[in-house]
Amino acid sequence: MRSETVPTGVVKAVMAAALMSLAAVLVACAPAGESPESTRDTTPATLSPITLVADLDQPPVEWSEVAFLPGGDGPDRIGLDPCFHCERVVPAALAVAPDGSYWVADSYKRRIAHFAEDGSFMQAIPTGRGPADLAFVGDRLYVLFQEAGQTIAPVDSGALGEPIATTAAGHPMHVLAFVGNQDQVLAWFTEAEKTLGRFWAIGGIDPATGEVNPAPGIHVLGDMEMDLVPLLATRPLSYEVRWSEDRQLIRRQEIRFQLVRGSRAVRTTVGDTFIRASTPTGIATLVSIGNGQGLPVGIWYLEIPTDGGQPTFERIPDEGFIGDAIRYIALGPDGRIYWMRLQQDGLHIYRR
């Protein structure tokens, strides 16, 4: 029997026809309105839980002090409440401008105060109440007048712009804190179950109308967002990190905390926290850790990388510290985290 060689062109044509037939079968089998690619498994990956150790025997990590803003009565000084036997009114928040200068929510003097990079006073803008928080969106600064309040305002040409009332479908929204250095006015809201799906939730604010829309997380890289969700049923309180891409949850991981003294695990309590800033490599916040006696025993800086790697968890120096630690950190234009530490003589600003 004589064998014949089939021309190469014929073989390629037959293979191409077979592939086209297979593609037609796949399209026909796909649910109506969907492509074969859209039927792929979209179940988010669950990474193994990790436990971050808060070791009381380890000394705090020293950050570099880069500025000092003295406290006192003069207009060029930060307001310090002299009441030591009541709940003191203290500076509420820090924001670092694109030029490296500092804005402080000077609550005792009911103003926002602007200081140069070297700590010298530049100007102050009266707010009439509060203020409770500050954040930059691009080169525009926004002010939150009251924690869990409804009103924010931009700063334009050295003065407060028109107040913006935050609402969602006609319902007032209570702003807990801003998330700085995002491409939109992004904030944490409280009592947001009916509008955003959780008691504490992230939402974007339309600066023209004040309308609040749900956000899947803090924008970090490309189309990726990250969120930090408290797992309220856990004791001590733990958190779940969630990664989303194109508003689709793609990955999650539980983060637990354990206080250690003398190489032994001790009773641990974890304070409420929320993402304060995005960094070039992830998200950052501060976590207060306690031993169940009612007061925190230390404050730890937490940075969670975008790629799901090991988080940075380091104790910061908090001796003599006064105030709400979380709002005291901010991202600078150099991509580094800044923290203001309030003490009896004024504000000390550090850079990580």
User: Phi first, then psi: what are they for 180, rounded to 5°?
Assistant: -80, 160
Find all residues with CB under 8 Å of 24, minimum gap 6, and list them. Answer: none
pLDDT in tens, 230-287: 998 998 899 999 999 998 999 999 999 999 999 999 999 998 899 999 999 999 999 9
Give the model's pLDDT for residue 84.
Answer: 62
Judged against a pLDDT cut of 50, whether residue 10 lies above it is answered with: no
Contact between 257 and 271 (Cβ < 8 Å):
no
SS3 of residue 1 by DSSP = coil
Q: Is-above-0.95 flag for pTM?
A: no
Where do the domains of the chain lie? 1-40, 44-351
Q: Are 76 and 122 in contact (CB under 8 A)?
A: no
CATH architecture of 44-351: 6 Propeller (2.120)
- Cβ atoms of 317 and 325 within 8 Å: the answer is no
pLDDT in tens, 308-345: 999 999 999 887 666 667 889 999 999 999 999 988 89
Predicted confidence band at 40 (pLDDT cuts at 50, 70, 90)? low
| pLDDT exceeds 60 at position 16 | no
